[in-house]
């Protein structure tokens, strides 16, 4: 929001996980009221993925606890707060969704369904075995 307020004529994109956006999705209300049309891309893997992968590596695959999320419609939450929402399930749809969001007048949530399997290589640093 600060970036868009400081540079209203420049594109502002925030990338977030689905877990992280759960803490902050209500800020769409503030973006709508203050006319700050930033674009929020949610990488929706239906989990606190980094926490889940940590549990899998350190405790075992059957010992994952409290880190899965529902396939929530963060795009619909953004729309309910007065912004725009787009759900993307195919990679080819990301480009057009971004172009439309960046040219629009409303803050937009692009809710992208992604796989949960991929874990960053630096997770190995935490591995006990």
Ligand X SMILES: Cc1ncc(C[n+]2csc(CCOP(=O)(O)OP(=O)(O)O)c2C)c(N)n1
Q: Is 17 an interacting residue with respect to ligand X (CB under 6 A)? A: yes
Count of chain residues binding Mg ion (CB under 5 A): 6
Q: Site residues for Mg ion, window 14-73 (CB under 5 A)?
A: 17-19, 45, 47, 49
Rounded least distance, CB 20 to ligand X, Å: 3
Classify 114 in phi/psi space as left (phi over 0), alpha (psi -120 to 50) or beta: beta
Q: Using CB atoms within 10 A of its CB, is residue 52 exposed (0-12), middle (13-18) or buried (19+)? A: buried
Distance of CA 73 to the CA centre of its chain: 11
Of 12, 31, 36, 48, the one binding ligand X (CB under 6 A) is 48
Q: Which residues bind ligand X (CB under 6 A)?
A: 17-20, 23, 43, 45, 47-51
């Amino acid at each position: 929001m600060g970036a868009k307020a400081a540079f209203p004529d420049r594109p502002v994109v925030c990338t977030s996980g689905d877990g992280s956006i759960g803490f902050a999705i209500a800020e769409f209300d503030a973006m709508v009221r203050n006319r700050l049309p930033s674009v929020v891309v949610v990488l929706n893997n239906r989990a606190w993925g980094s926490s889940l992968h940590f549990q899998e590596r350190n405790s075992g695959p059957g010992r994952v606890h409290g880190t899965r999320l529902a396939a929530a419609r963060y795009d619909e939450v953004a729309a309910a707060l007065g912004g725009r929402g787009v759900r993307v399930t195919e990679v080819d749809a990301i480009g057009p969704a971004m172009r439309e969001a960046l040219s629009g007048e409303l803050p937009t949530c692009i809710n992208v369904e992604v796989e949960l399997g991929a874990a960053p290589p630096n997770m190995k640093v935490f591995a006990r075995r």
